[in-house]
């Protein structure tokens, strides 16, 4: 059996102290395997962003353990966490966060250069990603010269340029019109299926969520099967 790309074990996260403690996650656990797309459809204010931050090693849980590609990550020092995040995790957000002074190609190359690839290697990989996402003709354009859908496809390419084992996406189509959102999701889905990476995608778009392998939500700080919640009689 393949090693899970992501394992969250009994994750707890609380903020504040004394009588003003806010418990956001209360023993949240989940596993995502290579090649699997999981939709996180939790309502706003239930801890969705906190869960993604912890899964992405951007925030530490109060208790519990995070495993990335089988490696325990919670107790690592900052340098080791940064290296693991850089090499094994890709991020896509609702807003593309591309660097405006660089071209689409250069934005995709940057994380590879930071990871130690040569400019030639980074450029070749960027060209492959641009071609795969059907925006090779826009490689020299800066973000302001790209449409919203093109910008988000560049952001996806940048997120997976270092061949991570896990992709975390927070409302990656939330800032797009329905038609463009469909195109971007198709590109993302094809990339996940072709590469075999695992993806946890937070979305309010139930149509897109239904196209993923399974849906989960957050209830009282726990990860639960969203389909079972929406249809308790199922199964």
Residue 49's CATH number: 3.40.50.300
Tell me what pLDDT residue 233 has.
45
Sequence length of the chain is: 235
Tell me what pLDDT residue 235 has.
41
Q: How many domains does the chain have?
A: 1
Q: What is the mean pLDDT of residues 7-11?
A: 95
234 is a domain residue = no
145 is a domain residue = yes
Residue 225 has pLDDT above 70, yes or no: yes
3-class DSSP assignment, residue 201: strand
12 is a domain residue = yes
197 is a domain residue = yes
193 is a domain residue = yes
**Residue whose C-alpha is closest to residue 154's, from 179, 177, 174, 137:** 137
- DSSP alpha helix (H) spans, the chain: 48-55, 78-88, 104-114, 119-132, 148-160, 178-195, 206-209, 226-230
Residue 232 has pLDDT above 70, yes or no: no
Residue 78 has pLDDT above 50, yes or no: yes
233 is a domain residue = no
- CA gap 110, 88 in Å, rounded: 16
1 is a domain residue = no
Tell me what pLDDT residue 33 has.
92
Full residue range of the structural domain in which residue 194 is found: 6-228
55 is a domain residue = yes
Q: Write out the two tokens for 187.
A: 């590109």
């Amino acid at each position: 059996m393949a090693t899970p790309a992501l394992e969250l074990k009994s994750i707890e996260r609380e903020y504040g102290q004394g009588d003003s403690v806010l418990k956001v996650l209360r023993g949240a656990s989940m596993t995502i395997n290579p090649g699997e797309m999981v939709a996180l459809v939790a309502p706003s204010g239930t801890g969705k962003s906190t869960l993604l931050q912890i899964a992405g090693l951007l925030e530490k849980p109060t208790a519990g353990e995070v495993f990335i590609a089988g490696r325990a990550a919670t107790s690592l020092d900052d340098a080791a966490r940064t290296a693991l995040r850089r090499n094994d995790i890709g991020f896509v957000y609702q807003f593309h966060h591309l660097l405006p002074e660089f071209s689409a190609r250069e934005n995709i190359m940057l994380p590879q250069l930071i990871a130690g690839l040569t400019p030639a290697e980074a450029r070749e990989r960027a060209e492959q990603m641009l071609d795969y996402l059907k925006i090779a003709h826009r490689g020299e354009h800066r973000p302001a010269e790209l449409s919203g859908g093109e910008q988000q496809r560049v952001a996806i390419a940048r997120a997976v340029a270092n061949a991570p084992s896990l992709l975390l996406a927070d409302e990656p189509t939330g800032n797009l019109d329905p038609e463009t959102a469909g195109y971007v999701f198709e590109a993302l889905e094809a990339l996940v299926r072709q590469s075999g990476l695992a993806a946890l995608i937070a979305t309010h778009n139930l149509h897109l969520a239904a196209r993923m392998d399974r849906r989960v939500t957050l209830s009282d700080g726990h990860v639960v099967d969203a389909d079972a919640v929406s249809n308790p009689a199922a199964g």
